[in-house]
Structure 1
Amino acid sequence: MTGPPVLIACSHGTRSADGRATIAALVAEAARELPGVRVEHAVVDVELPEVADVVARVAADGPAVVVPLLLSEGHHTRVDIGAACAAYTQVTASSALGPHPLLVQLLRERLGELPGGDAGFRPGDHVVLAAAGSTDAASARAVERMRDLLQAELPAPITLGYGAGARPRLPEAVAAARAAGARRVVAASYVLAPGHFAGLVRRSGADLVSAPLGVHRAAASVIAARYREAAPAITGQDRRHGRILEAPTKETTS
């Protein structure tokens, strides 16, 4: 096969119809950011096609880049995606989507959609950055970095809460914020799409809950940026496929 490496956009997988539709639309938006690049979708859990099967099929034709549609490094990136790519010299995996400044901007936009908007933070408000969670230390560091980046943008204090795998769990984080004197707790949904973890955020007990990051050009631009960052590792020449393998433009990195 000639042409740029295939983009394999690998999501977690979900039983939620809304979640599946959101991921499909986001992958389509990312494809528009990368004209001329063949795009495939794969998952690591719950649904099909599994990433190992997609990698094996695509690798038979030529090089590919697996971009995890996951917000942090962790078990799925290191084990599931890593193992799927390990047998193929012409297949590589990019970093997870987060942390990234564009995701900070998107979190702020979703918070701005709540009653009162981003400018509506009041004295006594407290934000819980609500992440899916993982037992992997790298995942925790990535979420902490996102918290630090978001804190620089918001007037309210921000702490962390997790749906699984790490502590504090979301209800614990909300309760701790109230016990520390918060008058209103806002959960900033650091999840990509509707599904199991978005449901946990909604049920966390927060007074306000922002929507998942969802379909947005900012998220699609991060996917494209991760692809461009990883693609030269398997082509050997940054300019082999023209602008597809150029370094991310200012629009996709800030």
Structure 2
Amino acid sequence: MSALLLLPDPTATGAALGPELAAVLADVQEALPDVLVSASLAELVERGEQDVVALPLVPGAAGYDPGILELALRQQAPGATVTLARALGPHPLLVELAAQRVLAALDGAAPAEVGVLVVGPGSHDPEANAEVAKVARLLQEGRDFALVEVAYLADTGPDVAAGLARCRALGAGRVVVLPHAVVDPGFAARVAERAAGEEGVHVAGHLAASPELTALVVERHHEARHGDLRMSCDVCAYRELQPHPHEHAGA
């Protein structure tokens, strides 16, 4: 049996992370029944697993150092082989999941009447901030939302208040605020606090447990085990996305 280590976003906080992460672990375990899925490297090593794929549940590659993370994991488990999978996004499955969260929060309004404000955590790393903007653009492409804008919670601008003001200035009567995080209800709560009291503003659910997230984790695990022959990024229009078979025993 192979092993898959699912790491929560290193910036995620809050006691509610436990059940959120547990739901993701359960869904992935069901999708990969012959793979031991855990959020604890120590637990995997104690059970005798020496070949582990580690996958950070982060929406983008920027903002953390994969090399440092991989080194830290290997130091925690001397003798074990730890392979670090790619970050989750930007990826069409996450963009589709984001669109579903927005549509669920429309409160009866037509998409064409609604502006969307994608809120990222914010960083001193320009690439991390740019990834949020990329997701916002991908969210708008091919959909009927009146507009999609970006804001950040800290370290850079625009902040949530400025982002909402921009949506209003551009003509959005209603705005859906979308927290750009995977398994971090604490972040979503902080975003909701910043948007509280604003008339016509609804906060969408963040990107928690879902069939889309499970499928993407399975895809990343398959890549780490078997390689990923690709000429471009996940969202490139010229990349032919082939669904990976769920090879349970050898996945």
TM-score bin (small chain):
0.7 to 0.9
Which of 3, 27, 30 is residue 29 of structure 1 equivalent to? Answer: 27
Structure 1: distance between partners of 2:60 and 2:129: 8
- How far apart are the structure 2 equivalents of 1:10 and 1:167? 28
2:164 maps to which residue? 174
Asked if the contact 2:151–2:163 (Cα under 8 Å) also holds between the matched residues in 1, the reply is yes
Which amino acid in structure 1 is aligned with residue 120 of structure 2? A
- The normalised TM-score by structure 1 is 0.75
Structure 1 position 15, deviation (Å)? 4.9
**Which secondary structure state, in structure 1, belongs to the residue aligned with residue 50 of structure 2?**
coil
| Residue pair 1:71, 1:192 contacting (<8 A) in 2 also | yes
Q: Which residue of 1 aligns with 2:59?
A: 71
Within a 5 Å distance, the mapping from 1:11-22 to structure 2 comes to 11-12=8-9, 14-22=12-20
Instruction: Show CA shifts across 1:103-138 (max 9, x none).
Output: 111111111212445x71244x32111222333333
- How many residue pairs get aligned? The number is 224
Q: How far 1:9 sits from its partner (Å)?
A: 0.2
What letter corresponds to residue 71 of structure 1 in structure 2? P
The alpha-carbon deviation at position 194 of structure 1 amounts to 4.9
Computed over aligned residues only, the root mean square deviation of the Cα atoms, in angstroms, reads 3.0
Aligned partners of 2:66, 2:170: CA distance in 1, in Å? 37
The equivalences for 1:83-94 within 5 A come to 83-85=71-73, 90-94=81-85
| Contact 1:130/1:163 (8 A) holds in 2 | yes
Equivalent residue number for residue 93 of structure 2: 102
TM norm structure 2:
0.76
CA–CA distance in 1 between the matches of 2:96 and 2:116? 15
SS of equivalent residue, structure 1 residue 150: helix
Match of 1:7 among 4, 9, 22: 4
The offset of 1:80, in angstroms, is: 5.2
Code of the aligned partner of 2:122: G
Name which of 119, 139, 144 aligns with 1:150: 139
Unaligned runs of 5+ in 1: 43-50, 234-246
- 2:214 equivalent in structure 1: 220
User: Which of 67, 70, 82 is the equivalent residue of 1:82?
Assistant: 70
Q: In 2, are the aligned partners of 1:58 and 1:64 still within 8 Å (CA)? A: no
SS of match in other structure, 2:191: helix
DSSP-derived class of the 1:188 partner: strand
Identity %: 25
1:116/1:100 Cα in 2 relative to 1: closer, same or farther (>3 Å)?
same
CA distance in 2, matches of 1:132, 1:58: 35
CA contact (8 A) 1:103 1:218 kept: yes
Take 2:191 and 2:126, find their aligned partners in 1: how far apart are those partners? Answer: 21
In 2, are the aligned partners of 1:94 and 1:227 still within 8 Å (CA)? yes
2:128 and 2:47 mapped to 1: Cα distance?
A: 28
Cα gap change, 1:15/1:145 in structure 2, threshold over 3 Å: closer, same or farther?
closer
Aligned to 2:124: 135
* 1:77 and 1:96 in contact (8 A); partners too: no
Residue 80 (structure 2) pairs with residue 111 (structure 1): no
Q: Matches of 1:77 and 1:24 in 2, distance apart?
A: 25
Regions of 4+ moved over 4 Å = 85-89
User: How much does 1:83 deviate?
Assistant: 3.0
Q: 2:37 aligns with which of 22, 30, 39?
A: 39
